[in-house]
Structure 1
Amino acid sequence: MDSQVGQVQILGQTEKWKITFVDTGLDTMTGSRIKRAKKYIGDESFMVTYGDGLSDINLQELLKFHRTKGTIATVTGIKKKSQFGTLEVNQGMAESFEEKTKVEGIINGGFFVFQPEVFNYLTDETTCIFEEEPMKKLTENRQLSVFLHEGFWTAIDTYKNVLEINKMWEQGNRLWLPKQK
């Protein structure tokens, strides 16, 4: 892609997608970034991702799930175990410590489907963080559904993550790609 001349190159099989890149500003938080894309959305469902996750999520199944739930927003949920030791602390003193506990929870996997009504939960300020007040309000209003993904998912937001994914690629261990038939 060469954005200076508006040139895009697509390799491989193409899908019927419409992708719009919007410069929302360097210091704009997640909720504000979504809000600033409003004029490009129209009245259809739309998808959002942070761009720092790698997964084999079936986007068609995610959209289908969203439509069956009839909510304003759907987030992809990922089952994740704690990778760190945990401390219980009381008044500055450790009361217990467990190394790499088996605590498991569902985390925000960073792949979303929204209805245009999501804009009612967002503010115009650059400081609107989607994962705070808007997501809490959607939850309170029972308008946030969770598409549980049990396949491959990883964050790529550190240099260490990039090295790990590059190593997987070089070894042919590309779990995020569809299985070849």
Structure 2
Amino acid sequence: IEKYIEDDLFMVTYGDGLADVNIGELLSFHKEHGKLATVTTVQPPSRYGIVDIDEREARVLKFGEKIKDNKWVSAGYFVFNRKVFDYLEGGHCILEREPLERLTAEGQLMSYQHHGFFYAMDTFKEYTELNKMWESQQAPWKVWK
């Protein structure tokens, strides 16, 4: 896509997740820090119940159903400076591997921490749930009128 990018900045998304990310705030954040790349991050709840176990006794110490922990994950919404093309090598390049790892090592990747709605659509179950939200007009990602 490099030949189609005319501006210094461009945005990329995987397209398999829905969020109510404020694009203006994301872009402002990227411009303010001056690095080459920004990834939008979220703290999704665990898909499973989390169990802390005393390994010696096999006694459950703590049980939490679908809790949020303090880990951040990529929501798949990026802002890039066009210089990021220097980090991409050919059509077989995997963005999450060498390019993002190198940007990270060089201190050029920043995290825009999104605290609003995010929902990945990786399975048929998630597809069904998101469509039910849409059909019931309970779609938090619909931020336009």
**TM-score normalised by L of structure 1:** 0.67
Partner of 2:55: none
Partner of 1:110: 76
In the alignment, which of 118, 128, 145 is matched to residue 153 of structure 1?
118
Are 2:137 and 1:172 equivalent residues in the alignment?
A: yes
1:102-154 residue CA offsets vs partner (Å, 9 max, x unmatched) = 4331100011100011111111142x111111111111111001111111111
SS in structure 2 at match of 1:109 = strand
Q: CA deviation at 1:101?
A: 6.9
Where do 4+ consecutive residues of structure 1 move more than 2 Å?
84-88, 95-104
Query: In angstroms, what is the RMSD of aligned CA positions?
Result: 2.4
Q: CA deviation at 1:174?
A: 1.5
Partner of 1:75: 39
1:37-88 residue CA offsets vs partner (Å, 9 max, x unmatched) = 1111134200000111111111111111100010100000101232235799
Alpha carbons of structure 1 residues 100 and 135: separation in structure 2 relative to 1, 3 Å:
farther
SS in structure 1 at match of 2:112 = strand
Count of equivalent residues: 137
Q: CA deviation at 1:157?
A: 2.2
Choose 109-118 or 77-86, whichever is displaced more: 77-86
- For 2:39 and 2:122, the matched residues in 1 are separated by 19
Q: CA deviation at 1:175?
A: 1.1
In the alignment, which of 3, 6, 18 is matched to residue 54 of structure 1?
18
Partner of 1:29: none
For 1:177, the aligned partner's letter is K
SS in structure 2 at match of 1:157 = coil
More RCO (CA 8 Å, sep 6+)? 2
Name stretches of at least 5 consecutive residues in structure 1 with no aligned partner.
Answer: 1-36, 89-94
C-alpha contact (below 8 Å) 1:71/1:145 kept by paired residues: yes
SS in structure 1 at match of 2:8 = coil
Q: Alignment identity in percent?
A: 42
Partner of 1:6: none
